[in-house]
Amino acid sequence: TQLLEQSPQFLSIQEGENLTVYCNSSSVFSSLQWYRQEPGEGPVLLVTVVTGGEVKKLKRLTFQFGDARKDSSLHITAAQPGDTGLYLCAGEGSNFGNEKLTFGTGTRLTIIP
Amino acid sequence: NAGVTQTPKFQVLKTGQSMTLQCAQDMNHNSMYWYRQDPGMGLRLIYYSASEGTTDKGEVPNGYNVSRLNKREFSLRLESAAPSQTSVYFCASSEHQMNTEAFFGQGTRLTVV
């Protein structure tokens, strides 16, 4: 089983602050996805990173894939209440026949107005 | 577009009862998945179907069976429900297994008493 640990598990910060959440594994992934989930809904894809060291930006969100493709981070600048939600990373296995997604444990983010 | 549709949205079962969770997608996707979501554990894969006519076990398959009825539909069956199966269940689909976005249904909240 390829385990993905996310940290912190919970994070509550004031509107306007910056934050970073992490997704770590001892396994190599061929790609890594970040999803956001709101209460009562299924997760929705934010971004996919594929290349080691890749950085992608989505407005105030910056995603980075580690050089070794074992970890990733999500940085939010000037957090807004609309950023509140559960953030999940998901890694795609790099071995043939094991390409299915493995989800991380999640970071529950609350932005206080 | 409806995307991924799951039924029912809520269900309460007594220990030992059986039920089937239904899932259908209208995006012509090849791959479909069943996950369960428990607090602090992210999403864990129960079963998946890489393509019509095939199914494979995921991380936590015990106590469950699945049927890929056709390309659109993928059902999850609990033959004899147990309290440990109390969870939120999500169905998802993706175009292929590899490096593609997973689209999720809204979830089924199942309580086994």
What pLDDT, in 10s, does the model give residues A68-111? Answer: 999 999 999 999 999 999 999 998 876 655 567 889 989 999 99
Q: How does pLDDT run across A4-48, given as a tens digit for each residue?
A: 899 999 999 999 999 999 999 988 888 899 999 998 899 999 999
Question: What residues of chain A lie within 8 A of the CB of B104, using their CB?
Answer: 41-44
Residue B19 in this model has a pLDDT that exceeds 60: yes
Residues 19-38 of B with CB under 8 A from A: 33, 35
For B41, the closest of A42, A92, A105 (CB atoms) is A105
Residue B112 in this model has a pLDDT that exceeds 90: yes
Tell me if A42 and B92 make a contact (CB, 8 A cut-off): yes
DSSP B30-75: SEEEEEEE-TTS-EEEEEEESSTT--EE-S--TTEEEEE-SSSBEE
pLDDT at residue number A98: 56
Residue B98 in this model has a pLDDT that exceeds 70: no
Return all residues near A55 (Cβ < 8 A) that are at least 6 apart: A62, A63, A64, A65
pLDDT at residue number A48: 93
